[in-house]
Amino acid sequence: MVPVARRMDLEDYYPRDLIKDLGKQGFLTPSAPPEYGGPGIDLRGGSAVVVEELSRYSPTLGFITEIVNDNIVYALLRYGNNRQREEILPKVASGEWVASYALTEPCCGSDAAAIETRAEKRGGGEWIINGRKIWITQGAYADIYLLFARTGPREARHRAITAFLVRRNDCVEVSRLEMMGMRGGAGEAEIKFNDCVVSDDDVLGNVNEGGFRIAMVTLDLARIGISAVALGLSQGVLDEALEWAKTRTAFGKPPLIDWEWIQFQLADIKARLEIGRTVTYKAAWLYDNKDPSFVLYASIAKLYTAQMAVDIARDGVQILGGFGYSKESFSERAYRDAKVLEIAEGTNEIQKMVIHKILMRGLPEVEL
């Protein structure tokens, strides 16, 4: 992974072969059951352990895995019909198909209930989809999209949104987007859907309100997964900073590791990392044990670890000095990659809104 991760960043290269290798080893969709090509492990094993370890060396690959596992696999397992699960899941799990989660639009990021992409029903059980999506991870390379579209009046908001599975074909227009971090594998894109035809059999869950429910539940899970990306990224920064401090000398004195301020900085990084790891794994444990309070802890974990990762990456660059500012270091890439963790799967501000609502109104009803 290490040399490929560097190439992904420098060349904006998508490692299709490496994605397939992750699929063969069960790391791409760890929550998928064996009958669909995955190992079928719980959320702690999938969105915590696997994603964290991948992100320790390539935050982008960890980011891809959490989106595919938490957004796509969960939706298919929970809301898909037999044909969808049997036809699509094995292809996604093996890496044969690239799957993408198409929710965000130019009009509305955090306000998902305001999306404008429309799906109009016509005779013969067909739907016609028109609209634009933006900042879609793996959108540039996707073979299939889990797409959310409006199927009722705009004023109905979340009560008129439906989820569809859309295969890529000539009706899909893709424009690559140049991003600050998570380069290569993330494949961020703007997607235009121009009179795309799907059938009733491509609907995921119930028409209208079922789509918004799928989006919200998958985002709750993805907040645990993206917290694990933050953990792995931060651990990679700490690994590099520790090794550097053990060998780097300055002013003719012993290595940096013998300087008290470096010791304190490394200790502080480790302390923050373990706090983040504890709350992230607790959130996953609560979900695995069907405790609805996982929603609260998922938002706490996401809020804390996203901020933590940005701070730790900055500290790592500072410890490494000039080397940390160069593209030769992991910390430089991690610093750019970390910023999206404060934005994706619900911004920091959205997490504070969720936490506040739970404080005021109690836990929401969730499907476990």
Can you give the CATH number for the domain in which 237 is found? 1.20.140.10
The verdict on 334 and 222 lying in the same domain is yes
Task: Say what the pLDDT of residue 271 is.
Answer: 98
In angstroms, the CA 181 to CA 342 distance is: 12
**Cβ–Cβ under 8 Å, residues 154 and 116:** yes
Model confidence over 286-315: pLDDT tens digits?
999 999 999 999 999 999 999 999 999 999
DSSP state of 54: H
Confidence of residue 204 (pLDDT cuts 50, 70, 90): very high
Clarify whether residues 111 and 229 are in a common domain.
no
Burial 149-181 (b: 16+ CB within 10 A, else e): bbbbeeeebbebbbbbbbebeebbeeeeeebeb
d(CA 237, CA 235) in angstroms, rounded, equals 5
CA dihedral 73, 75, 78, 84 (to 10 degrees): -80
Q: Is 80 exceeded by the pLDDT of residue 210?
A: yes
* Domain end (from 79, 98, 117): 98
- Asked if the structure places residue 368 within a domain, the reply is no
pLDDT at 252: 84
Do residue 194 and residue 227 come from a single domain? no
Q: Crossing angle of helices 59-66/2-11, nearest 10°?
A: 90
Residue 124 clears pLDDT 90, i.e. is over it: no
Q: Name the percent of the chain lying above pLDDT 70.
A: 100
Residues 6+ apart with CB under 8 A from 213: 205, 367
**136 is in which domain, residue-wise?**
101-208
Q: Is residue 307 part of a domain?
A: yes
With tokens 């072969």, the residue in question is 17
In this predicted structure, the answer to whether residue 203 has a pLDDT above a threshold of 80 is yes
> Are 341 and 217 in a shared domain?
yes
Distances (CA, A) of 329 to 37, 149, 178, 270: 36, 42, 21, 19
Contact assessment for residue 32 and residue 68, using Cβ atoms and an 8 Å cutoff: no
Q: Is residue 204 part of a domain?
A: yes
SS3 355: helix
Same domain, 77 and 112: no
Strand partners, 147: 102, 164
Kindly list the distances between the CA atom of residue 365 and the CA atoms of 44, 183, 216, in Å, as whole numbers in the listed order.
Answer: 22, 37, 11
In this structure, the answer to whether residues 175 and 291 fall within a common structural domain is: no
Q: What is the 3-state secondary structure (H, E, C) of 92-136?
A: HHHCCCCEEEECCECCECCCHHHCCCEEEEECCCEEEEEEEEEEE
pLDDT above 80 (res 367): no
Domain of residue 200, CATH code = 2.40.110.10
The domain boundary, picked from 177, 208, 239, lies at 208
User: Do 62 and 229 contact (CB within 8 A), yes or no?
Assistant: yes
β-pairing verdict for 144-150 and 99-102: parallel
With respect to residue 54, please indicate whether it lies within any of the assigned structural domains: yes
Q: Where in the sequence numbering do the catalytic residues fall?
A: 345
Calculate what percentage of the chain has a pLDDT beyond 90: 93
**Domain-terminating residue out of 208, 241, 259:** 208
pLDDT digits (tens, 9 = 90+) for 53-75: 999 999 999 999 999 999 999 99
For the stretch 299-319, what's the b/e string if a residue is b when 16 or more beta carbons lie within 10 angstroms of its beta carbon?
A: bbbbbbbbbbbbebbbbbbeb
Range 23-40 average pLDDT: 94
Average confidence score pLDDT of the chain: 95
User: How many distinct structural domains can be found in the chain?
Assistant: 3
Q: Which helix (H) or strand (E) holds 145?
A: strand 144-150
Asked if the structure places residue 118 within a domain, the reply is: yes
Q: CA-CA distance, 314 to 324, in Å (whole number)?
A: 9
For strand 144-150 and strand 172-176, is the pairing parallel, antiparallel, or unpaired? unpaired
Strands 189-199 and 126-136: antiparallel
pTM of the model: 0.96
Give residue-wise pLDDT tens across range 231-241: 999 999 999 99
CA distance linking residue 212 with residue 328, whole number of Å: 43
Whether the CB-CB separation of 218 and 40 falls below 8 Å is answered with no
